[in-house]
Structure 1
Amino acid sequence: MNKTFKIYAVIFIIIMVILALLEVNKKEVTDWRKNFDVNEKSPFGLFVFNQEVKHLFKNNFKKVNQSPFEYYNKNKAAPHNILVVESKIDTESWNKILEAVSKGSDAMLIVDDIPKEVSDSIGYYDSEISFDEKNILKLTDKQYQNDFITLDKFPSGKGFSYIKPGVEVLGKTVEEDNSDQANFIKVKFGKGTIYVHSEPLFLTNYYLLKSGNIKYAQDIFSYLDDKETLWFVESHSSEASRFFMRFILSKPALKYAWWIFLGGLVLFIFFNAKRKQRIVPIIDPLRNTSVDFVKSIGNLYLQEGDFHDMMAKKAQYFLNKIRMDLLIDTQNLDDDFAKKLHLKTGKTMEMINEAIELIKKAQDPYAGVMKEDLMRMNRLLDEILK
């Protein structure tokens, strides 16, 4: 075990001990942000409502992840209910919702902020805000007088500052130090009806899990007729799901493992920053001079014009190959030799007999040899050895 490895091991152990101490002493922190996310189990998420919404609408319910503008451009539906819970909706989508309502649909808008041009067309003006730390939400209908909900954690305090004639007030916010203000209204719009509630907190996990509060939510949705309900869910959750690290960062154990990995990688880079690879010298490979040597010898023979000696060496090389590769005895170049060579090489007897004649001529020291004989023998012998 070298010194560098020991350093790394000590650093790793120290980091693990520090993380373990932090984990043991860590206090659970509650996320009080108003996220209104259907997948969030934090106090102001909509996880519980998302689980129970089908029962509220008797399973005649559909959750839509598209914007109203995209959905209504692709789908032509019969009159239905529209549900919007604190979603960021563009003006074009609001116009599509109003168009659907005018044709006979009903819309339940549980939001604390609507574009002014939309609110004006519905029948109320800018909302007013109360800064009271405790709000009580009640309905005006006498049959719902005993059903109310108390908001004791960060209520928005929003209500409608001015309501046009013809708009019916269905609910209000009751405060100790302020006069009551409308927070739930109903207005006819074309052939349909629009319901607007300015306090979406009553649908969050924190309030729905409190005993008795679910009844207030049931009362609110009882105003909608018994027909299919489309809930347009804000698309921010689907955008987050496309982030490849979302799952890892959502789990504490995996998140710590990921940060440990990144920390170890940074330490590795830091301790190895000064280590540089030595320059490897470029060594030219050894040159194969055998081919040059053969060329030089060949040129020498050609310059001397000793074709007989070249034929003899070619014949000697050929017969040696026959003995080593084909295991044929080359002592007597007779008919028996020719037949064996014919059987093992598959060449014609005419070619083999012609080659044997040229070999014998090369072996005869007194035979007259010409350049054409050398070329013809070289071609035949190469062809036989293929």
Structure 2
Amino acid sequence: MNRTFKIYAVIFIIIMVILALFELNKKEVLDWRKNFDVNKKSPFGLFIFNKESKDLFKNKLTKVNLSAYNYYSQNSPIKDKKHNILIIESEIDAESWYKILEQADKGSNVMIVADRIPKKISDSIGFYMSQLSFEDNNVLKLTDKKYKDDSLKLDKFPSGKGFSYIKPKVQVLGKTVEKENDDQANFIKAPFGKGNIFVHSEPLFITNYYLLKPQNLKYAENIFSYLDENETLWFTEANTTESSWSLRFILSNPPLKYAWWIFLGGMVLFIFFNAKRKQRIVPVIEPLKNTSADFVKSIGNLYLQEGDFHDMMAKKAQYFLNKVRIDLLIDTQNLDADFAKKLHLKTGKPTEMIEEAVILIKKAQDPYASVMKEDLAKMNSLLDSILK
């Protein structure tokens, strides 16, 4: 091992040790992202709600890790029984939504807790959701008098979403109360067939941060009390899907993560210095010059300098007719109406274009015709268009 490699190795080890010390001593930062993940203990995860859901729904809750479409297609008996359907911040495909509407039409109740709902879903229920507030603090309350003493204060990143338009048959069950603005509807009930569809536009009330406050649990219980005491299916497909990345386990454990980054850093340094030592000089090979292109350019400049547009038109016409004979197998002896018709049928170009081109070709073949530069440009454009 030479002296240079030893120096680089020592520098690399010192850098890795310093980075590891910084990593070990840094303070853990809270993840305030709204992930709504049943396995996350971050402030806006659903870990606590997931643990308490059995008691909240009186042991009549079943978590389903399939889409509604797949579940109802595979489970025939449940389709004939009235039940509750719970969806929390999950993407619903169109086929699944139609299956859910079928259950609501038969008498099941649907509870959707989300601040983003596709327009075609909101249209089928009878409301329009939009951003109604930009306040940092607001209070969630229910309109029913028996719940007037129960409320929930949102003091961390409220969505501010509410219902700006509601059809007449839709009932407002809850509102967002603010100091500076009028009350905004955030919880509605829409009749659908023999059942009902409930929609709450602020899913933060069931996250870890708010459920850890004892006074807020009562508000959550009141919201879900609107569902009948039937079996409840909670479709958690979008919330419970874990990463299938093969390095997820390594990166989730700090010691393994540090070892992994040290290994990668060492490999990069090894490849860099090893390649630098052994790589040969790549000779520069000049590409061959295209002398044919230069020749054509010279001939073209010569014709332009001479200004013999009639001769250039004649040669262009001769080249065109030769291509027609060889490629299209059309006789070019007589440039009459029959020739124009055949050329039209074989090329598919408009008859007017072909007739104009024939006139210019005849003009080029006439040695006594007066030819201008514009005639040459026009004929060149027409003949190139016909042969494309």
**TM superposition score normalised by structure 2:** 0.67
Q: Deviations over 1:2-36 (max 9, x none)?
A: 64663365134302321233124413222111111
Counterpart selection for 1:185 from 176, 184, 188: 188
* Rounded Cα–Cα distance in structure 2 between residues aligned with 1:261 and 1:236: 34
Q: Which runs of 5+ in 1 are unaligned?
A: 278-386
Residue 224 (str. 1) matches residue 224 (str. 2): no
* Rounded Cα–Cα distance in structure 1 between residues aligned with 2:100 and 2:130: 21
Residue identity matched to 2:148? Q
Residue pairs, 1:1-386, within 5 angstroms = 3=3, 6-7=6-7, 9-76=9-76, 77=78, 78-235=81-238, 237-238=240-241, 240-276=242-278
Whether contact under 8 Å (2:38, 2:239) holds in the other structure is no
* Rounded Cα–Cα distance in structure 2 between residues aligned with 1:126 and 1:223: 21
Q: CA deviation at 1:187?
A: 1.8
Q: CA deviation at 1:116?
A: 2.0
The 1:129–1:251 alpha-carbon spacing in structure 2 relative to 1, beyond 3 Å, is: farther
Q: CA deviation at 1:171?
A: 0.7
Whether contact under 8 Å (2:129, 2:163) holds in the other structure is yes
* Rounded Cα–Cα distance in structure 2 between residues aligned with 1:227 and 1:23: 50
* Rounded Cα–Cα distance in structure 2 between residues aligned with 1:110 and 1:140: 18
Aligned to 1:300: none
Q: CA deviation at 1:120?
A: 2.0
The 1:275–1:128 alpha-carbon spacing in structure 2 relative to 1, beyond 3 Å, is: closer
Residue identity matched to 2:102? E
Q: CA deviation at 1:40?
A: 1.4
* Other structure's SS at 2:128 match: coil
* Rounded Cα–Cα distance in structure 2 between residues aligned with 1:257 and 1:236: 31
Q: CA deviation at 1:188?
A: 1.5
Q: CA deviation at 1:211?
A: 2.7
Q: Which runs of 5+ in 2 are unaligned?
A: 280-388
* Rounded Cα–Cα distance in structure 1 between residues aligned with 2:52 and 2:259: 35
* Other structure's SS at 2:257 match: helix
Aligned to 1:313: none
Moved more, 124-133 or 40-49: 124-133
How much is the aligned-residue C-alpha RMSD, in angstroms? Answer: 2.1
Aligned to 2:304: none
Q: Deviations over 1:102-136 (max 9, x none)?
A: 11111110011222222122122243421111110
The 1:256–1:5 alpha-carbon spacing in structure 2 relative to 1, beyond 3 Å, is: same
Q: Deviations over 1:202-242 (max 9, x none)?
A: 1111111123111111111111111111111143642x431
Whether contact under 8 Å (1:168, 1:186) holds in the other structure is yes
* Other structure's SS at 2:260 match: helix
Residue identity matched to 1:95? Y
Structure with max Cα Rg: 1
**TM superposition score normalised by structure 1:** 0.67
Q: CA deviation at 1:169?
A: 1.1
The 1:61–1:112 alpha-carbon spacing in structure 2 relative to 1, beyond 3 Å, is: same
Q: Deviations over 1:148-194 (max 9, x none)?
A: 11111110111111211121111110001000011111122111111
* Rounded Cα–Cα distance in structure 1 between residues aligned with 2:148 and 2:114: 23
* Other structure's SS at 1:34 match: coil
* Rounded Cα–Cα distance in structure 2 between residues aligned with 1:85 and 1:235: 9
Residue identity matched to 1:51? K
* Rounded Cα–Cα distance in structure 1 between residues aligned with 2:139 and 2:7: 62
Whether contact under 8 Å (1:129, 1:156) holds in the other structure is no
The 1:236–1:186 alpha-carbon spacing in structure 2 relative to 1, beyond 3 Å, is: closer
Residue identity matched to 2:37? D
Whether contact under 8 Å (2:49, 2:207) holds in the other structure is yes
